[in-house]
Chains A and B, each alone.
Chain A
Amino acid sequence: MMFKTSLRHLREGLKGTLRNGWMSFAAISAVTITLLLVGVFALIMFNVNEITDNVENDVEVQVFITREADESSVEELGQNIEQVPGVSTVTFSSKENELKKFQAQLGENGEAYGTVEKDNPLHARYIVKAQDPEELEAVAKSVSELDNVDEVAYGQEYVDKMLAFFNGIRIGGLALIVGLTLMAMFLISNTIKMTIFSRRREIEIMRLVGAKNSFIRWPFFIEGLFLGVFGALIPIAVIYFGYDVAYSALQPSLDQLNSDIFKLLDPSTLTMQVSGVLLALGAFIGIWGSTTSLGRFLKI
């Protein structure tokens, strides 16, 4: 019995979707476009977040130590830096070490610099990480005031610009998604309104013969759900296969950068997650759109 009633609701919901062909098509298209953009932005945003995190975790203050400082004052400086509020880790890198790194970066040409080993022009330095990347500037300032500090360097401007740019993407994307979601909801709500209108006689009779409100509402609820879920199918397919393609195309060139920062997220779990979100969002848009119509246009 319950099963038969559920089947009836499903059938009626599907009928409603088909009956308002063009309206349904418009609503489904709106959901499709919305979710497509949501999906693309979600993928971009996840990657941007990952990169932002990488950047944030990567930023550090380079504290160049005056060449005159002796071993004990270098050690003292290290301890003083650790006292600065907001500092998380302090790593020492000696002159010799710096030279080796420099040479390594230059590769074969680096051997030419073997002669400077005796009279190393490089500074020993402390590499300081902040607990919170936002505090980096304050940390750098405090450290620069300590004794035996020659110079303090950090990629503040570059980091700030990058974070601002990523934030811009996040906010712009979010605004666009919210706007499109509202439009899709509105279109679904209108479609359901049309169905309610075209079936007002049926609804009137159902009420007269004593159908429960829930019984009357279910088919419309399901129609909204259909519109939302149908709308999610194409975006899910595009995201699922599209990201894989984009990943295979882009990642090799990013690999060449040999950077810890610019890496794309692995497709397998990410696309599954985003697909799940899209399906849920489609269902939510559909249900929400139909529920608002039911409340307003179905006087029961």
Chain B
Amino acid sequence: MISMQKVSKVYPNGVVAMDDLDLEIRDGEFLYVVGPSGAGKSTFMKMIYREEKPTGGQLLINGLDVGKLKDRHVPKLRRQLGVIFQDFKLLPSLTVYENVAFALEVVGADTSSVRKQVMDVLNLVGLKNKARNYPDELSGGEQQRVSIARAIVNKPKLIIADEPTGNLDPETAWGIMDVFEEIHRRGATIVMATHNREIVDKIRHRVIAIENGKVVRDEEKGAYGYDV
């Protein structure tokens, strides 16, 4: 699904965020990305959805060479993956339903099936009854569920989640993880950057630790591994 060979990223100001990083992520894998703040986690995530361009090496996603991808072809990549953020990034003026349908509308999806697709994912994340509510009427956990629903409504094979539980209290975070587990069970590949030790230690998956732009640890069913 994702193949990185000697991928590097040097920002124009000289900061080396990625240093000859090699990594293979297989189809259907669930991967935690851990590491201290400022170690390159964010750059790692952003390169996958081509918010940042690698400056060296080769980064293949589903066969697409992301480093060589022209700006106008970025939408093609983005339609194959779903991105979830710590701060949800919902549109406050749209209802839950509209926020999710938005992702279908802007890619020009067939309108006849929008309603069914949206209701299906809202059902999956447990928000079927809140379809008509606005984001500010929802709790943080519910808002994150909406953003997950929006990310998966296009049925992407790859989900990128950048600290999805970062803004949530522990109990709510567990509920969000249930949703990710369900999506993973249905076959999606998930790459999740996180600082949440309990989750990584309890729900065991592959763990990579990034420090100074390199993978310093890569364990199947690994633990969080950092002392707070």
A residues at B contact (CB < 8 Å)? 1, 4-5, 8, 201-202, 204-213, 215, 300
Contact with A along B65-105 (1 / 0, CB 8 A): 00000011011111100010000010100000000001101
- Note all chain A residues with C-beta closer than 8 A to B53: none
- Note all chain B residues with C-beta closer than 8 A to A212: 72, 75
- Asked if B111 and A211 sit within 8 Å, CB to CB, the answer is no
Q: Summarize A's interface: helix, strand, loop or mixed.
A: helix
Q: Which residue of B lies closest to A201 (CB)?
A: B91
Q: Categorize the interface residue count of chain B.
A: 20 to 34
Rounded to whole Å, the gap between the CB of A16 and the closest CB of chain B is 13
A-B contact pairs, 5 of them (CB 8 A): A209-B78, A209-B103, A209-B106, A210-B79, A300-B71
- Note all chain B residues with C-beta closer than 8 A to A300: 71
Q: For the complex, what is the distance from the CA of A4 to the CA of B112, rounded to whole Å?
A: 12
Rounded to whole Å, the gap between the CB of B42 and the closest CB of chain A is 15
- Asked if B110 and A210 sit within 8 Å, CB to CB, the answer is no
- Asked if B102 and A205 sit within 8 Å, CB to CB, the answer is yes
**Quick check: is B14 within 8 A (CB to CB) of the other chain?**
no
Q: For the complex, what is the distance from the CA of A4 to the CA of B102, rounded to whole Å?
A: 14
- Asked if B106 and A211 sit within 8 Å, CB to CB, the answer is yes
The one of A4, A201, A206 that contacts B106, using a Cβ cutoff of 8 Å:
A206
- Note all chain B residues with C-beta closer than 8 A to A4: 111
Rounded to whole Å, the gap between the CB of A289 and the closest CB of chain B is 24
**Quick check: is B154 within 8 A (CB to CB) of the other chain?**
yes
- Asked if A5 and B91 sit within 8 Å, CB to CB, the answer is no
- Note all chain A residues with C-beta closer than 8 A to B103: 205, 209
Rounded to whole Å, the gap between the CB of B108 and the closest CB of chain A is 6
The one of A8, A202, A209 that contacts B107, using a Cβ cutoff of 8 Å:
A209
Decide yes or no: A208 and B105 within 8 Å by CB, A202-B91, A300-B71 being known contacts.
no
Decide yes or no: A211 and B107 within 8 Å by CB, A205-B102, A300-B71 being known contacts.
yes
Q: For the complex, what is the distance from the CA of A212 to the CA of B75, rounded to whole Å?
A: 6
**Quick check: is B9 within 8 A (CB to CB) of the other chain?**
no
Q: Which residue of B lies closest to A214 (CB)?
A: B72
Q: Summarize B's interface: helix, strand, loop or mixed.
A: helix
- Note all chain A residues with C-beta closer than 8 A to B77: 210
Q: Which residue of B lies closest to A212 (CB)?
A: B75
Decide yes or no: A210 and B75 within 8 Å by CB, A4-B111, A205-B102 being known contacts.
yes
Q: For the complex, what is the distance from the CA of A166 to the CA of B13, rounded to whole Å?
A: 59
- Asked if A215 and B108 sit within 8 Å, CB to CB, the answer is yes
Q: For the complex, what is the distance from the CA of A213 to the CA of B105, rounded to whole Å?
A: 14
**Quick check: is B180 within 8 A (CB to CB) of the other chain?**
no
- Asked if B105 and A8 sit within 8 Å, CB to CB, the answer is yes
Rounded to whole Å, the gap between the CB of A14 and the closest CB of chain B is 16
**Quick check: is B214 within 8 A (CB to CB) of the other chain?**
no
- Note all chain B residues with C-beta closer than 8 A to A8: 105
Decide yes or no: A209 and B89 within 8 Å by CB, A1-B111, A215-B108, A300-B71 being known contacts.
no
Q: Which residue of A lies closest to B147 (CB)?
A: A205
Rounded to whole Å, the gap between the CB of A72 and the closest CB of chain B is 84
Q: For the complex, what is the distance from the CA of A8 to the CA of B102, rounded to whole Å?
A: 12
- Note all chain A residues with C-beta closer than 8 A to B89: 201, 204-205, 208
- Note all chain A residues with C-beta closer than 8 A to B154: 209-210
Q: Which residue of A lies closest to B71 (CB)?
A: A300
- Note all chain A residues with C-beta closer than 8 A to B74: 207, 210
Q: For the complex, what is the distance from the CA of A1 to the CA of B154, rounded to whole Å?
A: 18
Rounded to whole Å, the gap between the CB of B16 and the closest CB of chain A is 24
- Note all chain B residues with C-beta closer than 8 A to A1: 108, 110-111
- Asked if B108 and A208 sit within 8 Å, CB to CB, the answer is no
- Asked if A209 and B150 sit within 8 Å, CB to CB, the answer is yes
- Note all chain A residues with C-beta closer than 8 A to B72: 212-213
**Quick check: is B49 within 8 A (CB to CB) of the other chain?**
yes
- Asked if B91 and A205 sit within 8 Å, CB to CB, the answer is yes
- Centre residue among A206, A208, A210 by max chain B CB count within 10 A: A210
Q: For the complex, what is the distance from the CA of A4 to the CA of B78, rounded to whole Å?
A: 23
Q: Which residue of A lies closest to B92 (CB)?
A: A201
- Asked if B107 and A210 sit within 8 Å, CB to CB, the answer is yes
- Note all chain B residues with C-beta closer than 8 A to A209: 78-79, 102-103, 106-107, 150, 154
